């Protein structure tokens, strides 16, 4: 996820994953693309409507990692 964010803004750091999504200047398409990238990397299918409700990117990421760990 951080790699994707750094394509938009090379100054992004791991700390930015703990910032509120609203502060990151991401639009809904950016969030869907991040969701899809994580799905692909983790080989899991999640509901983007659910992950879009998370206030922090790390929460969205953690949710998809949890789904992946369940198999």
The whole-angstrom separation of Cα 37 and Cα 29 is: 12
What are 56's strand-pairing partners? 20
pLDDT value for 66: 93
State the CB neighbour count (10 A cutoff) for residue 22: 8
Task: Give pTM, 2 decimals.
Answer: 0.78
The whole-angstrom separation of Cα 5 and Cα 26 is: 9
pLDDT value for 43: 93
DSSP 56: B
- For residue range 7-46, what is the model confidence (pLDDT) as tens digits? 888 999 999 999 999 898 888 888 888 899 889 999 999 9
For residue 9, give every residue at least 6 positions away whose Cβ sits within 8 Å of its Cβ, in sequence order, or none: none
């Amino acid at each position: 996820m951080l790699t994707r964010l750094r394509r938009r803004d090379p100054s992004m750091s791991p700390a930015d994953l703990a910032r509120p999504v609203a502060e990151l200047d991401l639009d809904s398409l950016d969030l869907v693309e991040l969701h899809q990238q994580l799905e692909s990397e983790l080989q899991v299918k999640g509901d983007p409507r659910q992950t879009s409700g998370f206030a922090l990117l790390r929460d969205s990421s953690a949710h998809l990692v949890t789904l992946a760990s369940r198999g």
